[in-house]
Structure 1
């Protein structure tokens, strides 16, 4: 099968990078795959063009260094089509493909520009369509999302999403089975990621990694508890300090993202993919739930039985540092991963039958 995959593969965000890497790697086992190199302008403006330009000027060297790392990873590890920068241009492409796959990430979340982009409901093709682990990202869909998805997903060969609640909601809308599946990063094995891991001098002493958590009294208190225990604090990403830290890594790329998680004693984040890689690498962690779009994180934590690692309005420092029964966690998520692989494999087979009809 010749498969074309469309997802948010080129944003300078490590979660987006590795979910795209994982789905292409998995589907390439037995298929010819290419990621559609779709890069609309909103990928790089962070939802506010003026603020983006100001930050880029203020932190030009950091932006340049980070961009080189992300672009280098994409060049070395992805198989891409010709670059496309606008939806109208995408519609006029004549892709040589038997079927198209969209997913995962928050491609259907209309709080972001991608959730309003017809590219991510595959409106540009009449070939067989598959959705894999595409995310709405929140507990309930708004009227725009309901109307749009109910009108566009009915002609998909197979539909799957990353949140259990979204699967139930969509099934009622489109009158078709919607499968709850794992994020693509779980389709690969730990060793598939360890090959990217590096170690630096900064990692020579025990440290706690802080990633994608907004400044707050809660974060300050949590970080303070770890500093009292003698841990170094490494703040990862962002351009301004959000907590007291020993090192602030501003220009990190995808490889650094994996490396700092893998070598950490503990990870504090508000990130779905940081939480996911803590599961994969068996790292103790706390996830400070974001005010919005936290359903994707909670869906994973409910599955793994680690809901107590979600921090809302308060936290128990004893719970945060207790050991995790990773054997039990792996057992809980293994069946879900297996079912997800079966779904994706069968969806591709069904798309193949549609092609031959």
Structure 2
């Protein structure tokens, strides 16, 4: 049986990332292939330091460092929150250890990784999520640059996460894209970027989490109750305080509790007091079930949106990023809503939130659109893997 080496982000402290890796592995193994998550750690050396100097001029990378340092500094004032976040991070790690069994030993250093790639795998796949963010370019791992030229290399639903590639990265981006035997991307904008750089027309496929039906997710993550009251699940990763205020207004109108998972990506001052249930001691299974059992879902998250759709929830998606910002990552939600024709589930500040969320969703049509996208995506994956044997 052919063995597929996976370059995926499985151990991050992010619900969506863990779910898309779980779905990727599940689907590839259903198609009859062995999988192994490749684990790579860089060796600190002078050449590595020199290689990473360009990152110091990457605005997105620097902004990420500044934001992370700011978050940690602000949280340090509240030891009880820091302790609670450690509990949640431990739950993330336990989920990864329990669910991602087929993992390699750690390959330390680039030469070790390249040697293992020659000996241990028949083909390679990277995906999904925003692995091709410009700020990630210097890693060379999620671009499969370590894989031998003669072995097949596939991308599944890999995303750039941005609307355009910085001019100074275009040649290097073109180079790694041209090494891939089969390319698919998750966003319409991603397909445009690839075509502009390489001249290749590539397929836009669904996020891996949509490869599995609701029934398959129900088996993979059984239903259980996390909160025993009727509630609105507010899953906000961004910093917009108005989104929280709108949620509180909605909760008051419908006499519902608010459930949150605070301080995942950012420190937002209002989140110290926002919500009736601020949850920390939860894992990715709980995240899915919080969506399943909510009366309404309010989110600025891509995967929060996807699991709302899969579970036929009444939901509204807010923009996490300013659409005019160069660092905006709204394109993945733009693409999803366009493909599924559900643009009306985007928050519109000119309307009352209560009016927007109670509108019925034609889930018969939506799920038909999901199934069509899913079938096309499974066909891509099936053909790409078969052609690589």
Whole-angstrom distance in 1 between the partners of 2:386 and 2:168: 32
Aligned-pair RMSD on alpha carbons? Answer: 2.4
1:146 aligns with 170
1:3-55 CA distance string (max 9 Å, x none): 011111110100000111110111012001111134679xxxx7456457654
1:294 aligns with 330
Q: Where do 1:9-158 residues align within 5 Å?
A: 9-29=10-30, 30-38=32-40, 47=65, 50-51=69-70, 54=73, 55=75, 58=79, 59-78=81-100, 79-84=102-107, 90-94=113-117, 95-110=119-134, 112=135, 114-126=136-148, 127-158=151-182
Contact 2:244–2:274 under 8 Å retained in 1: no
Check 1:85–1:237 CA distance in 2 against 1; reply closer, same or farther (3 A cut).
farther
Structure 2 alignment gaps of length 5 or more: 44-63, 322-327
Check 1:84–1:272 CA distance in 2 against 1; reply closer, same or farther (3 A cut).
farther
The number of residues matched between the two structures is 345
**How far off is 1:101 after superposition?**
0.1
**How far off is 1:347 after superposition?**
0.4
Whole-angstrom distance in 2 between the partners of 1:100 and 1:282: 34
Structure 1 alignment gaps of length 5 or more: 353-357
Whole-angstrom distance in 1 between the partners of 2:90 and 2:243: 34
1:307 aligns with 343
Q: Where do 1:160-175 residues align within 5 Å?
A: 160-175=184-199
Whole-angstrom distance in 1 between the partners of 2:288 and 2:108: 29
Contact 2:132–2:158 under 8 Å retained in 1: yes
| TM-score, normalised with respect to structure 1 | 0.89
Question: Of residues 242, 247, 251 in structure 1, which corresponds to 2:277?
Answer: 247
1:187-244 CA distance string (max 9 Å, x none): 11213322424434x6222210111242422430233123221111111232654363
Question: Of residues 171, 176, 184 in structure 1, which corresponds to 2:200?
Answer: 176
Whole-angstrom distance in 1 between the partners of 2:25 and 2:211: 10
Whole-angstrom distance in 1 between the partners of 2:83 and 2:243: 31
Check 1:87–1:47 CA distance in 2 against 1; reply closer, same or farther (3 A cut).
farther
| TM-score, normalised with respect to structure 2 | 0.82
1:264 aligns with 294
1:355 aligns with none
2:380 aligns with 343
**How far off is 1:253 after superposition?**
1.8
Check 1:188–1:2 CA distance in 2 against 1; reply closer, same or farther (3 A cut).
same
Which 4+ residue blocks in structure 1 deviate beyond 6 angstroms? none
Is 1:199 the counterpart of 2:199? The answer is no
Contact 2:15–2:284 under 8 Å retained in 1: yes
Q: Determine helix, strand or coil for the equivalent of 1:245.
A: coil
Contact 2:23–2:209 under 8 Å retained in 1: yes
